[in-house]
Amino acid sequence: QVQLVESGGGLVQPGDSLRLSCAASGRTFSRSAMGWFRQAPGKEREFVAAIRWSGSSTYYALYEDSVKGRFTISRDNAKNTVTLQMNSLKPEDTAVYYCAAGNVDIDVRSRTAYNYWGQGTQVTVSS
Protein backbone atom coordinates (compact mmCIF):
# COMPACT_ATOMS: atom_id res chain seq x y z
CA GLN A 1 0.00 0.00 0.00
CA VAL A 2 1.30 3.46 -0.94
CA GLN A 3 -0.27 6.79 -0.01
CA LEU A 4 0.60 9.85 -2.08
CA VAL A 5 0.20 13.54 -1.30
CA GLU A 6 1.09 16.23 -3.86
CA SER A 7 2.03 19.81 -3.09
CA GLY A 8 3.57 22.84 -4.74
CA GLY A 9 0.91 23.85 -7.23
CA GLY A 10 -0.26 27.42 -7.67
CA LEU A 11 -0.89 30.35 -9.97
CA VAL A 12 2.12 31.57 -11.96
CA GLN A 13 2.80 33.66 -15.03
CA PRO A 14 4.06 32.32 -18.37
CA GLY A 15 7.79 31.68 -18.21
CA ASP A 16 7.80 31.10 -14.46
CA SER A 17 8.82 27.92 -12.65
CA LEU A 18 7.13 25.64 -10.15
CA ARG A 19 8.34 22.66 -8.20
CA LEU A 20 5.81 19.96 -7.44
CA SER A 21 6.47 17.43 -4.72
CA CYS A 22 4.87 14.11 -3.97
CA ALA A 23 5.27 12.68 -0.49
CA ALA A 24 4.79 8.94 -0.34
CA SER A 25 4.22 6.63 2.57
CA GLY A 26 4.30 2.89 2.49
CA ARG A 27 6.91 0.21 2.63
CA THR A 28 7.14 -0.33 -1.13
CA PHE A 29 7.87 3.21 -2.27
CA SER A 30 11.54 2.63 -3.00
CA ARG A 31 10.65 -0.21 -5.36
CA SER A 32 7.87 1.64 -7.16
CA ALA A 33 7.91 3.34 -10.49
CA MET A 34 6.62 6.87 -9.99
CA GLY A 35 4.84 9.05 -12.49
CA TRP A 36 3.30 12.47 -12.95
CA PHE A 37 0.14 12.92 -14.97
CA ARG A 38 -2.00 15.97 -15.62
CA GLN A 39 -5.59 16.63 -16.50
CA ALA A 40 -6.89 19.85 -17.98
CA PRO A 41 -10.61 20.73 -17.91
CA GLY A 42 -12.52 18.71 -20.47
CA LYS A 43 -9.50 16.58 -21.37
CA GLU A 44 -8.27 13.14 -20.50
CA ARG A 45 -5.55 12.60 -17.95
CA GLU A 46 -2.22 12.49 -19.78
CA PHE A 47 1.26 11.29 -19.02
CA VAL A 48 3.87 13.91 -18.15
CA ALA A 49 6.92 12.19 -16.72
CA ALA A 50 8.03 9.07 -14.86
CA ILE A 51 11.03 7.63 -13.09
CA ARG A 52 12.06 4.07 -12.26
CA TRP A 53 12.74 3.01 -8.70
CA SER A 54 16.53 3.42 -9.00
CA GLY A 55 16.23 6.89 -10.47
CA SER A 56 18.49 5.92 -13.36
CA SER A 57 15.72 5.88 -15.97
CA THR A 58 13.42 8.81 -16.62
CA TYR A 59 10.68 9.25 -19.18
CA TYR A 60 8.90 12.30 -20.54
CA ALA A 61 5.83 12.94 -22.64
CA LEU A 62 6.39 12.78 -26.38
CA TYR A 63 3.33 14.65 -27.54
CA GLU A 64 3.47 17.88 -29.50
CA ASP A 65 4.93 20.75 -27.55
CA SER A 66 6.30 18.21 -25.09
CA VAL A 67 7.44 18.93 -21.60
CA LYS A 68 10.85 17.41 -22.22
CA GLY A 69 13.52 20.02 -21.85
CA ARG A 70 11.33 22.09 -19.56
CA PHE A 71 10.33 19.58 -16.87
CA THR A 72 12.61 17.38 -14.79
CA ILE A 73 11.52 14.46 -12.64
CA SER A 74 13.62 13.20 -9.75
CA ARG A 75 13.21 11.11 -6.63
CA ASP A 76 14.74 10.70 -3.22
CA ASN A 77 14.06 7.22 -1.91
CA ALA A 78 15.54 8.08 1.48
CA LYS A 79 12.92 10.82 1.88
CA ASN A 80 10.12 9.01 0.05
CA THR A 81 9.59 11.91 -2.31
CA VAL A 82 9.35 12.45 -6.03
CA THR A 83 9.67 15.90 -7.51
CA LEU A 84 8.67 17.53 -10.78
CA GLN A 85 10.60 20.70 -11.55
CA MET A 86 8.71 22.71 -14.14
CA ASN A 87 10.44 25.57 -15.94
CA SER A 88 9.34 27.92 -18.70
CA LEU A 89 5.72 27.25 -17.95
CA LYS A 90 3.12 27.92 -20.61
CA PRO A 91 -0.62 28.50 -20.38
CA GLU A 92 -1.17 25.07 -21.93
CA ASP A 93 0.52 23.52 -18.89
CA THR A 94 -2.49 24.54 -16.84
CA ALA A 95 -4.00 21.41 -15.30
CA VAL A 96 -4.39 19.37 -12.16
CA TYR A 97 -1.18 17.42 -11.69
CA TYR A 98 -1.31 13.95 -10.18
CA CYS A 99 1.39 11.78 -8.69
CA ALA A 100 1.11 8.03 -9.22
CA ALA A 101 2.90 4.89 -8.09
CA GLY A 102 3.10 1.53 -9.77
CA ASN A 103 5.01 -1.73 -9.76
CA VAL A 104 8.65 -1.70 -10.67
CA ASP A 105 8.27 -3.02 -14.24
CA ILE A 106 5.18 -1.22 -15.51
CA ASP A 107 4.71 0.63 -18.76
CA VAL A 108 5.30 4.00 -17.15
CA ARG A 109 3.48 5.94 -19.88
CA SER A 110 0.24 4.04 -19.36
CA ARG A 111 -2.24 5.62 -16.99
CA THR A 112 -3.85 2.25 -16.27
CA ALA A 113 -0.56 0.70 -15.16
CA TYR A 114 -0.44 2.66 -11.90
CA ASN A 115 -1.95 1.30 -8.72
CA TYR A 116 -1.96 4.39 -6.50
CA TRP A 117 -2.81 8.03 -7.10
CA GLY A 118 -2.62 11.24 -5.14
CA GLN A 119 -5.44 13.75 -4.89
CA GLY A 120 -3.81 16.18 -7.33
CA THR A 121 -2.51 19.74 -7.14
CA GLN A 122 -3.70 22.60 -9.34
CA VAL A 123 -1.23 24.39 -11.60
CA THR A 124 -2.48 27.51 -13.37
CA VAL A 125 -0.32 29.44 -15.80
CA SER A 126 -1.84 32.76 -16.73
CA SER A 127 -0.85 36.37 -17.25
Angle at 61 between CA 60 and CA 63, to 5 degrees: 150
- Is the pLDDT at 60 greater than 70? The verdict is yes
- Residue count (the chain): 127
Query: Is the per-residue pLDDT at 64 higher than 70?
Result: no
CA distance 107 to 114: 9
pLDDT at 13 over 70: yes
Does 107 have pLDDT greater than 80?
Answer: yes
- In angstroms, the CA 121 to CA 9 distance is 5
Confidence band (pLDDT; 50, 70, 90) for 37? very high
CB 22 within 8 A of CB 79: no
Q: Which residues of 7-34 are buried (b: 16+ CB within 10 A; e: fewer)?
A: ebbeebeeeeebebbbbbeeeebeebbb
Confidence class of residue 72 from pLDDT cuts 50, 70 and 90?
Answer: very high
Report strand pairing: 10-12 vs 121-125: parallel
